[in-house]
Each structure stands twice: as structure tokens, then as C-alpha cells.
Amino acid sequence: MMTLELDRPVTDATLWSGAVALLAIDLALLPLVHRFVPTSRFIRLRHLLPIASAAFWTVLWLWVVATFWRSVYSFVFPEALRWLLPPAFGLLFALASLLLFRVALHANRYASLTFVLLGAVLGPLTHLVAVWRGVVTKPPLMSGASPVAAIAISFPEFALYWSAILLLALALSRITGDHQEEHRAAA
């Protein structure tokens, strides 16, 4: 099993630099999301968003518990939850995607951007819980990080994740042929 051992603790500088880099990626990606997922297409992704979200979060958390368990997450979660976390977070965020979708529909022309930005708001909420559970106080790897930096990085991090989920749903629609209905309607 792969584990990642870093030779120095994560610092505020690392987290703030990461936040800036993620924000730059988000600012480049959001116009593409808006262009390739206009509201008419976003509406057609209704059933694929929970599937894309569940797949994304499950795979992400499988990687997280395989890579960072010993260095970070074993200090935050009980060992018995290690392999239950990926499917649990997959299911939880699949359900969250349904709520995000419904709220984003009210943004009319900017539904896909609203979906991503609402998803990004989930980042600080989840990182706040992680801080409360000791993510910056218990693992030695995180001893150089403050709660503020750990929470701040989560907004651009989650914006990237929800952009990826939206684009994954779009790719799934193309693979499954769901986009053909849109082309027939346009013709």
C-alpha cells in the first residue's frame, strides 16, 4: 500500500501557496465550465451529477486513506472507519450534489458556475469539522499549519473538485449518448 511520508510539517506558507495556486486554476477553469456547461446542458446532467460526484469522492477518499492515513487521517478518524470513509463520503457528496443542483437552477444563466461555487462553500464547512477533530493539532505532519490556513485552502480546493465533477458528468453524458437528445433538439 502506498503511503506518503513528507520530511517536513505542512506550514501555513504551504497552505496559502496552495490556495493561491488552486485559485489560479479555478479562475482559468470556471470560464470553461460556463462555456461547456450552459444551463440547458446543466439541466440534462441532473441524473449524472450524483453518479459523477459519488465516483469522484469515493476515488478521492480511497487515494486519501491509502496515501495519507498514517501521516494525517489516523489521528482524526478511528481505524475502523478507514475503508468505510470512501464510500460514505461518496454517498454523502452524491446527496449533496442533488441539493447543489436544485439550488443552482435558480441562478438561471449561471447554473453551472453557481453549482461549482456552492460546492466550494462545502470546503470550509468540511475543513472546519476536520479542524475541530484535530487535523492541525494531532498529526505531527500538520504541526506547522493553523486552522485558518487549513480552512482557507478548502474553498479553491473544493471549487476545483466540483468543477471536475461537473465536467465528469458532462463526459459521462457524452459516453452514454445523453448529449444526442440535445443535438436533436437543436436541429
Tell whether 38 is covered by a domain.
yes
pLDDT for 3 equals: 47
Q: What is the pLDDT of residue 180?
A: 54
Cα gap 61→76, rounded to integer Å? 14
Query: Is 68 within the bounds of a domain?
Result: yes
Per-residue pLDDT of the chain (187 residues; tens, 9 = 90+): 444 456 678 999 999 999 999 999 999 999 999 999 999 999 999 999 999 999 999 999 999 999 999 999 999 999 999 999 999 999 999 999 999 999 999 998 999 999 999 999 999 999 999 999 999 999 999 988 999 999 999 999 999 999 999 999 999 999 988 655 554 544 4
Distance CA 77, CA 62 (A): 14
Domain assignment present for 1: no
Q: What are phi and psi of 47, to 5 degrees?
A: -85, -20
Q: Is residue 186 part of a domain?
A: no
In this prediction the pTM is 0.90
Residue 5 resides in a domain: no
For residue 68, what is the DSSP state? S
Please count the other Cβ atoms lying within 10 Å of the Cβ belonging to residue 41: 18
93-109 as b/e, with b when 16 or more CB fall inside 10 Å?
bbebbeebbeebeebee
Owning domain of residue 65:
12-176
The C-alpha cell at 58 is 469515493
Query: Is residue 181 assigned to a domain?
Result: no
Report the domain count for the chain.
Answer: 1
13: how many CB neighbours lie within 10 A of its CB? 11
Cα–Cα–Cα angle for 78, 119, 145, rounded to 5 degrees? 50
In this prediction, residue 7 carries a pLDDT of: 65
What local confidence, expressed as pLDDT, does residue 102 receive? Answer: 97
| Residue 124 placed within a domain | yes
10 Å Cβ neighbour count for 177? 8
Residue 85 included in any domain? yes
